[in-house]
């Protein structure tokens, strides 16, 4: 069983999609062993507790500086002994020490088709605002492995979503979640847990197709 830890910052709809996929048997060979939030009051923690998954928060506000926060955060992560760390709407830059320690074992969901609309400043609703400003007709979501460069790691999967006339950032965000994020992220965990993908020469290669 792959031990999976999910890191969150907000509402946790992606976390919910993962929880639901585990209970429905759409993710196999994986166990959700912990949820960690950088924010004490978020809905994500309630979702985790409702599913009886140990959930903790480590807030930067409780530490004197960034380094102390990062140390405490990494300690919590280590405590769960994860095989895979999933960033599901986690808005903190992942500490370098963590990326190095868990190289090839951290994935992130980003709400655009990387390499478009990603990198510094592209998070949450801002991504969808920029998509609408630029007037592209297709956007989507990407699951990628996390490396030190922001949104630069090997791409595991992507799914396209149409932009429609009259979209607001909120409407588009919802469509990208429904049509792409909530499907891709559970599938990615299932693919890793069942050995269907592997990292090779800086790229993620699919070795077995999904049924």
Between 22 and 88, CB nearer to ligand GRF = 88
Minimum CB separation of residue 74 from ligand GRF in Å reads: 21
Buried/exposed code over 77-89 (b: 16+ C-beta within 10 A; e: otherwise): beebebbbbbbbb
Cis omega (within 30 of 0) on the bond before 97?
no
Site string for ligand GRF, 115-144 (x = CB under 6 A): --------xx--------------------
Does 12 interact with ligand GRF (rule: CB under 6 A)? yes
3-state helix, strand, coil in the chain (%, to 5): 35, 25, 40
Does 157 interact with ligand GRF (rule: CB under 6 A)? no
Does 37 interact with ligand GRF (rule: CB under 6 A)? no
**Is the backbone of residue 201 left (phi > 0), alpha (psi -120 to 50) or beta?**
left
How far apart (Å, rounded) are the C-alpha atoms in residues 63 and 38? 12
Does 10 interact with ligand GRF (rule: CB under 6 A)? yes
Q: Which residues are catalytic?
A: 110
Residues near ligand GRF (CB under 6 A) are: 8, 10-14, 88-89, 109-111, 123-124, 177, 181
């Amino acid at each position: 069983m792959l031990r999976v830890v999910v890191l969150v910052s907000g509402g946790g709809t992606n976390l919910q999609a993962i929880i639901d996929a585990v209970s429905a048997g759409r993710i196999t060979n994986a166990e959700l062993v912990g949820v960690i939030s950088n924010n004490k009051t978020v809905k994500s923690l309630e979702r985790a507790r409702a599913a009886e998954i140990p959930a903790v928060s480590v807030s930067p506000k409780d530490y004197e500086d960034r380094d102390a926060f990062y140390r405490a955060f990494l300690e919590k992560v280590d405590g769960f002994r994860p095989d895979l760390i999933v960033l599901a709407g986690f808005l903190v830059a992942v500490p370098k020490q963590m990326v190095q320690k868990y190289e090839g074992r951290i994935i992130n969901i980003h709400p655009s088709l990387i390499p478009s609309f990603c990198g510094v400043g592209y998070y949450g609703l801002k991504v969808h605002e920029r998509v609408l400003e630029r007037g592209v007709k297709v956007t989507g979501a990407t699951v990628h492995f996390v490396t030190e460069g922001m949104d630069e790691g090997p791409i595991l999967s992507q799914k396209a979503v149409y932009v429609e006339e009259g979209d607001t950032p909120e409407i588009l965000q919802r469509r990208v979640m429904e049509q792409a994020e909530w499907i891709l992220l559970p599938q990615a965990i299932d693919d890793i847990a069942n050995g269907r993908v592997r990292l090779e020469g800086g790229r993620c290669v699919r070795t077995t197709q999904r049924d």
